[in-house]
Structures are given as structure tokens and as C-alpha cells.
Structure 1
């Protein structure tokens, strides 16, 4: 299959008949106006459209143990090669500056085998600190609090780094609103049939996926740290899906059944929301340990391999295309 970023987003978003609320546009405009001067060039696809940097290190994982020093070397090399900056610090300064509140999107879903690694996450936090972002202005996040805790993330986050979620638990019906912004949403004519037992068909919540307040209110920059993993419905789950299904509610309607699989429409429709395109400034794909089948959940532990590779990009579509080839 051959496609480019613009064609992929434009075609699928048009097919989905996406309607974003006017307030979503206003919220993203406010975020852009309040950001730094560098924010004009940051976001998706960012300053390096189409560029994906691949960094391999044979010693990055030994057995099932991630090795901190090789991972730090990979991180530094990838950032400098992506930006062509003269130093690691200058590379990071292209994306963040003092005064930013930086969110880090982690992924606990493939636990225990394929989840965001403590070693890489701590290395990223350390480099943010080196360029003037204090721990109190760093927020780790995933959509469900119970999954975040089950993966052990709070135990190894450095003291002072905050963490949050949009929903405390994974609800049977994913229409809870406490952690989501009622003014910022993606709307498409797609309803989870099981929800009709409790909601009337004309309820707009059934057709909307609201964006987490973490994105709209709590941070002004986001670093997306996806994994290299197969997904039974979406095919792969990497940079794009880590955002689309991690930043919104009412996501299960995108793959309610094998005959109603709309992941190919839902994912780009969410990522095309202006507030997400503006705030996600960097994607670092952790492919040190990857999964080629059984995703997204626990079953992946039967199908992992030591890929020993990280990928760096500001363009998540380009990143996912490269990762897709690696999984294939």
C-alpha cells in the first residue's frame, strides 16, 4: 500500500464526516496564543515532516531487562539526529522551554510484557530537567488510572513528577465525563450498539469522543511515547493510536465488533483535532521490545521480540508507516 500523510488524513477524515465543535477550535487557538514563540512551528506534522530517525543498539535489552545506559545513548543520538542540533540540550530546547508544562503519554496496555519502560521514561524526564523543566511541571499520563497503577508506573516515576488519568477505571460504557472537556470533541456518525440500552439514540454523547482535560487544560506540550505493537483491530498501535485512543473517551465504538471496525476512520479523525495537532510536539517510539501479534493486551507476551530500536519523529504518520513495516 502506498500513501502519504496528507492523503491518509484527508481521505479518512472526509470519509468519517467529522464535525469538530466551534469551541474546540477556540480552545486550540487560545492554547496556541498562550504558548511560546516556537509553538508556531511545533505540533503535527511539526518542523520535520516525513522524517523518521531510527536508532539501534544491540545492548539495549539483555534477556528481558532493559539497559539504562544504552537506552540513554539511543535517546541522545536520536534527538540530535532528528534535529541536527549541536548538543543534546539544544535538541530538547527545540521542543520545550522553561515555563512549559510538559505531558508524557505513556502506555500500560500490553502489561506485563510490552509497556513504557522506566529506563526510557526516566531518561526523558532527566533531559527535560536539564533544559529547565522542573519535575513539578512534568505530568505522566494514560487514560485509565487503574491501568497506569497496574503497570507500576507511579512506583518508578521520579519523586516530584505528577501523574494523572482521564478516567479512574475502565468503565463498561465509556461515556464518563469527569476527566474530559465538554467543549472539545470529535464527532462522527458512529455509535456503539451496546450503549443504546442506556442512552437514547439521539443523545449526542453517543456520537462524540471528548478530549481529556489533561490535553486541553493541564499541559501545553505533550511528548508521545508509543510502543511498537500489533493491534487486533487497528492492525498496529503506535504513535497515532496512542493519541486517538489515549486522549478521548467513547473509543470502543471504533472497534465494537469485527464487522464494525472503524479504527481507520476514528484514529485520524481524533488526531486531526487542532488542539492535539498543536500540543503533541514530539514522538519517541520505544521499539526496544516489540510485539508482532496478539495486541493490544496481555496476549502480546507470547509474540514479542527484541527489536532493540527506537524511532524519533515530529510526524506521527511517517513514524507509524516505518513502524508498520518493522512489524510486518
Structure 2
């Protein structure tokens, strides 16, 4: 809310409160001159106390942790406002100090203590409002900083995916080129299609699940080229996927990990990839035989990356289960789409 709206809102609330108390003070009848004097003049003093504390004293001293000066300033403000009220009371003596047709006269100290107490009430209300507003502002700033930090961290994690994947793919293409394979141009074209998706089509917070599946299929085809079509992969897709969306590049690390650490050339034990969608639930499984030769010297950046992204983007909406047996690696991801 901008400042002009805040000012109008405050004016509206105070006007409404003064009119309400005037109406109640006059017993539901038309406000009398007495009501006007009591609720307008004295109301202005109390409102001035409220905003002097709220806009001047608390921001000047409390925010700077000068608590003693803050307390002294508040006490002086209440005393000053009390003397002003007493001055007004004696100026309107017959209206304020005399009640019940002149039969009861309020003396100075009675009125002084009453005015002092009312001043303290308005100090209390303005202080409470200040703390509430500051709390909401701090929460808003905290949330904004957390979101900015989250966005920055996600951007950093996503930026790690591209060079990590590119590094592995270029190694694969280098292997084909070194062998002078006729499939090298096809591998380069597949890599080009994959990089186009990663750089341009995956910039949104979510993408179509079908596009992500197509991206996985292109990656698998690229791997098959590396193995001269002697890689055995069983990719099963089940369920309605055409109207579902998913965070981009969230599944590739599991498939990449299977090729990097597993055995892809065992016809009897192919790499098994299962993607099942039921309602808004996704089940993704990758199973592969482990190879003792393929070790990731970089420390497994891919899986650490995807685990962190899942924590940030699907907090409480995913379950990742990994069985790392002696010869079999089984990864299962349950995800709310």
C-alpha cells in the first residue's frame, strides 16, 4: 500500500472513531456542543500523541536501540499532552470539569491522572501498531530475501546442469569421432537438439511433461550412438502425460547417472527406465547394473544437484528412494505434479 492510501486510511479510521464516540457519548442523539468539545479537541490531542510516538519517537530512538532516550521522550510527551488537556479542560471548565448539572466538580489532580492515563493508552496503542507494522515489514523483507536467495540458488544449480551434461556428451562425441564413426554427425545433431531445449525451452519454471520426456529420449538416443547401438535400454511410459507439467531438467540426472555408473551393454540386464503418471502423481524409476570401472571423479555433481533442486522446488511434495546395492542401483522418485 502506497503512502497516500495509508494516509487516507488513517484519516478515515480516526474520523470514524471520533464520530462513533461522539454518537455514543450523546446517547444516540444529535451530538451536542459538549460532545464536540470533548471528542474533537481532546481527540486531536490524543491523536497527536499517537502519531508523535509512532512517527517520531519510536523510529528515532527505538530503531537505534536508544531505549533510555526513548523512555524519557515518551514520558515527557505524555506529561506535555496531559498539561495541554488540563489547559483545555479549564478553558472549557463548565463543559469538562462540571458534570451532572453542576453537582459534581472534578478537581485538578483527578483530571490530571485521568488525562495522564489516557495519554499512556494512546502511547501503548501506537507502540503496538509500530511493532506489528515492523514485524510484517520484516517478514516481507525476509520472504523477499529468501525468494531472491532461492532464485539465485536455483539459477546456479541449473547453470551447473548444462556444463555437466555438455562435458559428458562431448566426451561421447569425441569417442565417436576418434573411432571415425559415420554416426558422429548424427550425434552432433542430437546434441544440438538437446542443447536447444536446455538453453531456450527450459527457461520457464515448468515445462510440458511430454517435452521433458522427448528430451530424455533424445539423450538416450545420443547414448545409443556412443555404444554403436549396442546399448540396451528399456524405457516404459504409462499414463496420461499430455496435460501435465514438471520442472525442467529434473529427471535427466538419474538417467545420466545410470549410463555413467552402470552397464548399458548387458542385453540380459538392460537399463530400465519407468515413467508412470496417475492423476497428478508421477513415478519415475531408473534401475541399472553397477560398473566397477565407471567412477565419477568429480564427486557426483548431477545427483547432488537434482536432490538440492527437489528440496527447493518440491519441498514436502516428493519422495526420493535410492537402493545402492552391491551390483544394482535402483532410484525411485515419487513427485506431485
> TM-score of the superposition, structure 1-length normalised?
0.20
Higher relative contact order (CA 8 A, sep 6+): 1
Greater strand proportion? 1
Greater helix proportion? 2
> TM-score of the superposition, structure 2-length normalised?
0.20
